[in-house]
Chain A
Amino acid sequence: MKIPALLRPTTLFLTLLLAACSTIAPYDQEAYKTATGLKVDALVVMSSATESYSSHRAEVARFRIALDKAYEYDRNRPLNEITIKLWDKLRNPDGDLLGGFLREWQEEGALRPKYVAHKKTQIAEGFDTLIQLESGKIKPAEAARQL
């Protein structure tokens, strides 16, 4: 009987060895999809910041929950500290990216259109940085191919 490649002792040994040697979490399709979706949502929500915060309160609240869920998902992945640090930077309400922008909008009301446009560019880049790291991670299929 032919043993499937994935069950061969050398393959199993190598799989375990590679897992033990990993220094960063492998690629996660769910995390990638969530981050790209949140980028789009963030830019849509931010576009409303030229209007009063109170008229978009519910929309922002929903977005914040989605953001928190994505953070929690990534926080519970092993060897994922760098991605968590990236989320922390992006979400920090005392910083000057997404978290800071939402706080500013909430505290100051409608923001200037040019400022909103520049912040959108900046925050899109922040999301891209996070997404690029996720997409650069080793995909399980690639790891299996190496065997």
Chain B
Amino acid sequence: MANIDWKDIEKQTAILAKTILKGFADQAVADARDFQKKAQAHLAEWLTDLAHGDISQKNFESLVRGERDLAEMRALKQAGLSKIALDTFTAGFIEIVLHAALAALP
């Protein structure tokens, strides 16, 4: 029977998971921070425009609701990116196992 190096598979899988999944998590946090910063700046600007009469109350409300829609879009994007990270991990894992299995063939 082929002698597959399971220890090496375990080690490589751990590295793969750390690289892909941690990279995804870091990116998601940075994305959320970026959105929060932008939303705060936008809100301040809209309030100034509302006070100056450059936009109406109705315009202001639509802008705020639009920001909520954007937040939902960002959440959907992150859900999509997490699926991509999972697919990338799965592909990498299959590759690791297959290479180890092929290497063990006599």
Q: Which residues of A contact B (CB under 8 A)?
A: 10, 14, 17-18, 21-24, 82-83, 85-86, 89-90, 95-97, 100, 104, 111-115, 118-119, 121-122, 125-126, 129-130, 132-133, 136-138, 143, 146-147
Q: Once A and B bind, how many residue pairs between them come within 8 Å at the CB atom?
A: 112
- A112 x B54 contact (CB < 8 A): yes
| Chain B 46-84 near chain A by CB (<8 Å), digits 1 or 0 | 100100001110010011011111101110110111011
For B, the interface residue count at a CB cutoff of 8 angstroms equals 37
Q: Known interface pairs A118-B46, A122-B63. Does A136 touch B84 (Cβ–Cβ under 8 Å)?
A: yes
A87 to B63, CA, bound (A): 19
**Complex contact A132–B94 (CB within 8 A):** no
- Chain B interface mostly: helix
Interface residues of chain A: helix, strand, loop or mixed (majority):
helix
Taking A24-B84, A114-B54 as contacts, is the C-beta distance between A122 and B79 under 8 angstroms? no
Distance A133 CA – B80 CA, assembled complex (angstroms): 7
B1 → chain A, closest Cβ, in Å?
Answer: 19
CB <8 Å contact, A121 and B79: no
Closest residue of A by beta carbon distance from B24: A136
A14 touches B98 (CB 8 A): yes
**Given contacts A82-B79, A118-B63, A143-B91, A126 and B84 within 8 Å (CB-CB):** no
**Contact among A100, A125, A138 with B84 in the assembled complex (CB-CB below 8 Å):** A138
Contact B46 A138 (CB under 8 A): no
B55 touches A95 (CB 8 A): no
User: Who on chain B is nearest to A13 by CB?
Assistant: B98
> Which residues from A are CB-within-8-Å of B88?
138
Across the A-B interface, give the 3 residue pairs with the lowest CB-CB distance, nearest first. Answer: A96-B66, A96-B65, A114-B54
